[in-house]
Amino acid sequence: MTDPILLLVVEDEPAIQILMEDVLKDAGFAVRVATYGNEAITILDDESAQLVGLITDVRLGQGVIGWDVARHARERHPEIAVVYVTGDSAADWAAYGVPKSLLLPKPFANAQLVTAITNLLNEHATQL
C-alpha cells in the first residue's frame, strides 16, 4: 500500500480551511494546513515534508500572500502542483501566478477543487 499524496492547504478563513481539508481527505489525499503565508513557507522549507501539491488562497491577511507562497514552493519543489483559490484576485493570475498552475474563483464546488489538483498531478505524472 502506498502513502497518500501529501498536499499543503493555505487558507486564512477557518470555515473554508476546514471544508477544503475535509474534501481533500475524503478524496484520498493527506493534508497539511497553514493559516498564514509565513507558516506555509516554514512547512515548505521542512525537508521531511514530502509535499506534492499546494492549494493556496491569494489573500492571506498580513505578511506573505499566496502568490509569494507559490513562488517559494516552486523554488523549493519545482514540480509541485499549484492551485490558487481566490474571491477577488483572479484577474491577477496571469501576472503573478506560477506557470502550469490553476486558479479557482471562490465560491467553487468541492468537486472542482479535487478535479483541479488531480488534473495537475496527472499532467505531471504523464510528463515523467
Q: How far apart are CA 33 and CA 18, in angstroms?
A: 9
Domain boundaries, the chain: 6-127
Total-model pTM: 0.95
pLDDT of residue 3: 83
Q: Check: CB of residue 117 under 8 Å from CB of residue 81.
A: yes
Domain 6-127 coded CATH 3.40.50.2300: yes
What confidence tens digit (pLDDT) does each residue in 74-124 have? 999 999 999 999 999 999 999 999 999 999 999 999 999 999 999 999 987
Helical H runs in 1-128? 14-26, 37-45, 66-76, 93-96, 110-127
